[in-house]
Amino acid sequence: MPDRRFSARIVIAREPSRVFAWVADHRNVPRVLEGVSRWEPLGSRDRGQGARFKVAMRAVGMPLENVLVLDTWDEPRAIGWRSESGLIAQTGGWLFEPQPEGTRVTLTICYRPPFGVVGDLLAGQVDRLVRGRLQAALERMRDILESTPEPDRGAAPVD
């Protein structure tokens, strides 16, 4: 059965380093990605290549748990992961590209449906859900980041 791949993209009116830092904080994932109830570090590392996370989510009413490991960490350009264990094998990543108006953020997820033909039948339902969740997550992230004031850089102290 072929892998399923989805991407969503948005431009956020913030610098890539700021958007990268926000995504790199694992506590922000459940804030924006509907269905994710847990994204917790396993061990003391919560950043960088090799950091591992226990992830719990619901998709089409089914609880799913995975252990994900970060396999790409290219600050401030990209963060990527792959599943280490769990029912659904997946890979994914964030790409942060500078634009004149801010940062173009692309979120991609690739997964292999389990259970052969039955999984393929369920995949159609999951596909619609995943596509909608990815775009909605990026829109929530944009709203949060753009509603937070930019740090004042280089301003002279007020006497």
Closest CA to 139 of 35, 49, 34: 34
Looking at residue 48, what is its pLDDT? Answer: 96
Confidence bin at 64 (pLDDT 50/70/90): confident
Q: How far is CA 129 from CA 18, 20, 25, 88, 92, in A?
A: 28, 25, 24, 15, 16
Confidence bin at 149 (pLDDT 50/70/90): confident
- Looking from the CA of 126 toward its CB, the CA atoms found within 13 Å total 24
Summarised one tens digit per residue, pLDDT across range 19-36 is 999 999 999 988 898 888
Residue 59 has pLDDT above 50, yes or no: yes
Highest mean pLDDT among 27-36, 56-65, 104-113, 138-147: 138-147
Domains of the chain: 4-147 (3.30.530.20)
Looking at residue 82, what is its pLDDT? Answer: 96
Could you give the percent of the chain with pLDDT greater than 90? 54
Model-wide pTM > 0.85: no
Confidence bin at 159 (pLDDT 50/70/90): very low
Omega before residue 2 within 30° of 0, cis: no
